Amino acid sequence: MFFHKSSKHRSASVDFAHLPRHIAIIMDGNGRWAKKRGLPRTAGHAAGAENFRTIATYCKEIGLEYLTVYAFSTENWSRPQEEVSAIMGLLKQYLVEAIGKMERDRVKMKFFGDLSPLSQELRDLCAQTEEISRHYEGVQVNICLNYGGRDEILRGVRAFAAACAAGETAPGFLDEETFGQYLDSAGVPDPDLVIRPSGEQRLSNFLLWQSAYAEFYFTEALWPDFSKDELHRALAAYQSRSRRFGGV
Ligand code: IPE
Ligand code: IPE
Ligand code: MG
């Protein structure tokens, strides 16, 4: 099935029969979106959360297997206290709503990151969300919370070292596949496509290990404005690439 879309930028034809298995998105640009409208940054986060609902639902509709989104980084704690609290509040609101609509939406959800510094209430909501949605088929959405690629690698290294110290394994057994099992993304294939809206062209500590061979797509659109059309353009760009994985 081909979808032809004409837009003011350029038309994007997506071959929906050959989608990437796993798309990862750095949901950036909420603050600038709000500033442009003379609104507080928190209004941008609310608009960003709303857009996340739209895009996640759409990914299920088109039959994507995995969507991973960067919602809060290990570095984002350095923001003003009011902004961090507002983001945590929106997160809680999102999870409560998602749990309420779970039987209808049937989206499998997982959380990546070190959840231990989050409030007990939020951690319980995350655990509940994962538990209820565990058996759902279709798209799996991974939400990265207090996530940092370096932190994830260090947590994995510590867990492997602990298993060695306990005599359960030994350094010689560690290869890329085994190490992958110690990461938050255990069991999830590497992202094929990493999208960053908002014009920034950097990883900001996102999926460092897993992005080794990802294709990147950058757009000036701010996350709350990142529409289905924008996603189509990203998918079309992805489908025009030649992935060689070091071969010829
Ligand atoms: C991304 O939007 C959301 C989080 C990092 C939580 P930003 O808040 O970084 O938006 P900009 O980059 O300031 O526009
Ligand atoms: C990356 O965005 C983190 C999230 C989108 C959650 P940032 O806005 O925090 O990244 P930098 O500071 O521009 O690198
Ligand atoms: Mg930002």
3-state secondary structure 113-131: CCCCCCCHHHHHHHHHHHH
Ligand 1 pocket test: which of 91, 198, 219 has the largest number of ligand atoms within 8 Å of its C-beta?
A: 198
Q: 93 by DSSP, 3-state: which?
A: helix
CA distances from 150 to 99, 107, 111, 188 (A): 30, 28, 16, 18
Q: One of 15, 30, 51, 76 is an active-site residue; which one?
A: 76
Nearest-CA residue for atom 6 of ligand 1: 72
Q: Which residues pair with 147 in a beta bridge?
A: 73
> Side chain identity at 109, as an amino acid letter?
M
Distance 204 CA to ligand 3 centre (A): 9
Predicted TM-score (pTM) of this structure: 0.96
Written as six digits, the tokens of 232 are: 């189509």
- Decide if 51 is catalytic: no
Decide if 28 is catalytic. Answer: yes
Question: Which amino acid, 187?
Answer: G
Written as tens digits, the pLDDT of the chain (248 aa) is 555 544 444 558 999 999 999 999 999 999 999 999 999 999 999 999 999 999 999 999 999 999 999 999 999 999 999 999 999 999 999 999 999 999 999 999 999 999 999 999 999 999 999 999 999 999 999 999 999 999 999 999 999 999 999 999 999 999 999 999 999 999 999 999 999 999 999 999 999 999 999 999 999 999 999 999 999 999 999 999 999 999 99
For residue 72 and ligand 2, the question of a CB distance below 6 A is answered with yes
Q: Which of helix, strand or coil describes residue 28?
A: coil
